Amino acid sequence: MHFRFSYILSKLPMFDAYPNSSLSKMNKNKNSNTTHIFKSIQNIVLILVSLCSVSVSSSTLRRPPPLPILPLPSSPQLQWQLTSMALFFHFGPNTFTDSEWGSGKADPYVFNPTQLNASQWVHVAKEAGFNRVILTAKHHDGFCLWPSDYTEYSVRSSGWRNGSGDVVAELAMAAREAGIGLGLYLSPWDRHESCYGKTLEYNEYYMGQMSELLTSYGDIKEVWLDGAKGEGEKEMEYFFDSWFSLIHQLQPGAVIFSDAGPDTRWIGDEAGVAGSTCWSLFNRSSAKIGGTDPGYSQRGDPQGHDWVPAECDVSIRPGWFWHASEAPKSALQLLDIYYKSVGRNCLLLLNVPPNSSGLISAEDIQVLQEFSELRRSIFSHNLAENALVTASYTRGDVRDNRFDPHNVLEEGIYTYWGPEENQSDWALFLYLEESVSFNVLQVQEPIHMGQRIVAFHLDILNEEGEWKKVINGTTVGYQRLLQFPTVKSKQLRFVVDKSRADPLISYLGIFIDRFSILSMSNTSSHTNVNGSHILHQSLYNHSQIASI
């Protein structure tokens, strides 16, 4: 067992880290011999520490981790959060009738995707960095993409594959072979079945179809349902609690999405945008499927008793089903949505509808490829990866690296920095080898220990030896991404201003985004990503401060 390098650094008089101290003021006087002496001593100590290690007796018992703060995510919720992004496939008769909400009266024979290739769908998802796919197994029109034994209004009555096809089965096999998680959407609203509106009869019908889907196609990672229903439609009481119990019984590893959970919640809009403050904490008793306040859904609830993280759904096209007249969003638009969804503690559910031939359209694929390349260009290299990291306080003694501040440079939520208990000044200091320019901050919490941080900010040390605020933030959760005008520095200070309990940080990263267009920009130039024109972000005045 050895002393931690970062622990010893935290005990040294780092002049620049404390610019108001007497030592710092001495440092500013370039003619001060005392300053040079202190600097020489500091450098000698740093060299000695880096070359030597001090053995310590290992007889002392280790200190346990800090107490988690409730509520906590379940194992399926954790796995869901780690995927970050999923693709939605809206597909059915609407694809062929140029509709969004089908009437339920379309002839089943209109469904005939002659080139359907579910492996292509999954390949597109995987290549673009999506780890889960969700299919509209039944939309509002009641048409089933599997041969259900409870209705004739399904692929069995279509001309596709001579009535012997099964879209759900083909997608399940393709996803399983590619190692991609599968989710299914079974619309509660059904405009075709005559029993809709008869409470007992339709709930039995719905649960019968749910049982088919959850027992015939292997592991299902997510079951997606909502409270959508047009005005003037039949009144219908859904037995949600019975549905949820059945789903968890048949697929215990699945999360259930709805407007109000129980496992993941709707963000409250179809633009893919979460609130700048977004808690995974939520009160299910304060929410109703089909009738939850969108503002409450966007923000979550710092006093919430339930863990119900948010999912941001948005379509790559104006509509949810494929329409020949519509074009996809640009890669830059998707990047902006990414910052406002994945970057705000949510999962991004991006709808990419197959076309009438049964394939993902080439123009959609190109945009997804460009979107993937943008993310790779920005986030593949943490500019602070080789930094020295110290902290205001660190939990435990010098032999225990489980709570070491340097853990924040390791990817993953299961290693983290933890401060000593009963402190109020929570700060991490990063010392880079050289000054770097950056305009994106990434922060992550170990959410298996609960969501804690209420407010934080990032400072940089300027050339005058003074700390200057770069960005404010509120909640973190699984992941927070903040953009700001480009700054340059070699010393950073991350400060937690308020927290529900002792803050824990699992990851800190700084990055340069040369592509996004921020409102503060004053010049631009052009570059190309996979043949598509991308505006190149300009550098900004270093004194500007952004607040989110």
Please give the CATH topology (third level) of the domain spanning 388-520. Answer: Jelly Rolls (2.60.120)
Q: Which of 135-149, 239-253, 290-304 has the lowest mean pLDDT?
A: 290-304
User: What residues does CATH 3.20.20.80 cover in the chain?
Assistant: 75-380
**Residues 146-167: what's their mean pLDDT?**
97
CB 10 within 8 A of CB 19: no
Handedness of CA 388, 392, 398, 404 (dihedral sign): negative
The three state secondary structure string of 23-84 is HHHHHHCCCCHHHHHHHHHHHHHHHHHHHCCCECCCCCCCCCCCCCCCCCCCHHHHHHHHHC
Q: How far is CA 79 from CA 82, 222, 347, 416, 461, in A?
A: 5, 11, 11, 18, 38
Angstrom distance (rounded) from CA 514 to CA 527: 10
Number of H helices, E strands in the chain: 12, 19
Angstrom distance (rounded) from CA 504 to CA 499: 10
CATH-assigned architecture of domain 75-380:
Alpha-Beta Barrel (3.20)
What's residue 62's pLDDT?
A: 85
Q: How far is CA 102 from CA 139, 143, 188, 190, 197, in A?
A: 8, 9, 14, 10, 18
What's residue 548's pLDDT?
A: 35
Residue 358 has pLDDT above 60, yes or no: yes
The percentage of the chain sitting over the pLDDT mark of 90, rounded to a whole number, equals 78
- Reduced to 3 states (helix: H, G, I; strand: E, B; else coil), residue 454 is strand
Residue 41 has pLDDT above 60, yes or no: no
Q: What is the pTM of this model?
A: 0.87
Q: Which of 240-249, 288-297, 438-447 has the lowest mean pLDDT?
A: 288-297
Take residue 305 and report the two structure tokens written for it.
Answer: 């008793």
Length of the chain: 548
What's residue 518's pLDDT?
A: 60
**Residues 343-365: what's their mean pLDDT?**
98
Residue 346 has pLDDT above 80, yes or no: yes
- Reduced to 3 states (helix: H, G, I; strand: E, B; else coil), residue 300 is coil
- Residue 526's H or E segment, with its range, is strand 524-529
Average pLDDT, the chain: 87
- Bridge partners, 437 (sequence order): 488
Residue 357 has pLDDT above 50, yes or no: yes
Angstrom distance (rounded) from CA 306 to CA 263: 9
